[in-house]
């Protein structure tokens, strides 16, 4: 694709690959099978790859951001309610407005609504575990949800995943695509989890949300703040780069 006359391609700061997990991390078994064993070939970005994906407000439902209500059938979902909010920033720490943030997670018992998940834990008929929203003019997003439970995952003996929430984002261009996981402060399982320990120690704190009393709502739910940087020196680590 050639760029239109007079239109300059936007420039992107290079990714700080030392901030992300390695493609192959011995402690995380599935990466050994799927990780590339040869050097990657960098491709020059085209204009199409640097254009912003378009998501209209009309495609976002009224309750898409509220996982405590968007799948109710006969009552409220079980578990501890929580509020998750934060700011999405670009490589220069500028707010990224009108970008799609998608979220998926296990329920309070540690089980996903997916046929592959056969964990011996109950499904919640009133909880889907998925939501989405668009950031506002200040790059802020906000979800209401249920705090997910830990679950066994078979990677190693007595392996349990810490409580976590998956997040997917598009920034102002496809070059700022990010899929990551958010963890909770003080979780004792963090030190045993290879998805966490596979992330360079200097950047692991970027995966952990901060408890916020300012976000917490009296009598309703605890609040957590998780800011996301899409690219550059302080970018949030990829779930699996």
Structural domains of the chain, count:
1
Q: Tell me which of 132, 166, 173, 231 is the catalytic residue.
A: 166
Q: Tell me which of 161, 173, 206, 231 is the catalytic residue.
A: 161
Catalytic, 65? Answer no
Please write the tens of the pLDDT for every residue from 40-74. 787 776 665 566 666 655 688 999 999 999 999 99
Q: Is residue 41, in this structure, part of any structural domain at all? A: no
Q: What is the pLDDT of residue 27?
A: 81
> Per-residue pLDDT for 226 more than 50?
yes
Catalytic, 151? Answer yes
How far apart are alpha carbons 57 and 219 in whole angstroms?
31
Q: Is residue 33, in this structure, part of any structural domain at all? A: no
CB 96 within 8 A of CB 230: yes
Mean pLDDT is highest, among 97-101, 177-181, 205-209, for 205-209
Q: Is residue 21, in this structure, part of any structural domain at all? A: no
pTM of the model: 0.86
Residue 25: partners with Cβ closer than 8 Å, 6 or more residues away: 31, 194, 198
Q: Is residue 234, in this structure, part of any structural domain at all? A: no
Read off the CATH number of the domain in which 106 is found.
2.60.130.10
Strand pairing report for 160-161 and 100-104: unpaired
Q: Tell me which of 112, 141, 183, 224 is the catalytic residue.
A: 112
Q: What is the pLDDT of residue 4?
A: 47
Return the DSSP state at 9. Answer: P
How far apart are alpha carbons 90 and 77 in whole angstroms?
35
Q: pLDDT confidence of 113, banded at 50, 70, 90?
A: very high
Please write the tens of the pLDDT for every residue from 13-39. 667 777 777 777 778 878 888 888 888
CB 146 within 8 A of CB 80: yes
Q: Is residue 100, in this structure, part of any structural domain at all? A: yes
How far apart are alpha carbons 234 and 222 in whole angstroms?
27
Sheet holding 130-134, edge to edge: 130-134, 100-104, 164-169, 178-183
CA 167 to chain centre: 2
Q: Where are the extended beta strands (E) located within 139-177? A: 140-146, 151-152, 160-161, 164-169
Catalytic, 161? Answer yes
């Amino acid at each position: 694709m050639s760029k239109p006359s007079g239109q300059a391609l936007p420039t992107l700061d290079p990714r700080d690959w030392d901030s992300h997990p390695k493609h192959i991390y011995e402690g995380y078994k599935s990466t050994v099978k799927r990780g590339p064993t040869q050097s990657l070939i960098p491709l020059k970005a085209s204009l199409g790859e640097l254009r912003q994906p378009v998501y209209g407000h009309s495609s976002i439902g009224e309750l898409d951001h509220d996982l405590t209500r968007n799948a109710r059938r006969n009552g409220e979902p079980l578990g501890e309610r929580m509020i998750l909010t934060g700011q999405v920033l670009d490589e220069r720490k500028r707010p990224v407005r009108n970008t799609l943030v998608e979220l998926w997670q296990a329920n309070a018992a540690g089980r996903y609504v997916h046929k592959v998940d056969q964990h011996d834990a109950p499904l919640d008929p009133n909880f889907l575990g998925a939501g989405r929203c668009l950031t506002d003019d200040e790059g802020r997003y906000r979800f209401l949800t249920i705090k997910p439970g830990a679950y066994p995952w078979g990677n190693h003996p007595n392996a349990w995943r810490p409580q976590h929430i998956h997040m997917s984002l598009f920034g102002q261009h496809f070059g700022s695509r990010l899929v990551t996981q958010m963890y909770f402060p003080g979780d004792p399982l963090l030190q045993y989890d290879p998805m966490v320990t596979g992330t360079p120690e200097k950047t692991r704190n970027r995966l952990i949300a901060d408890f916020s009393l300012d976000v917490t709502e009296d009598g309703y739910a605890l609040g957590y703040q998780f800011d996301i940087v899409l690219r550059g020196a302080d970018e949030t680590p990829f779930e699996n780069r």
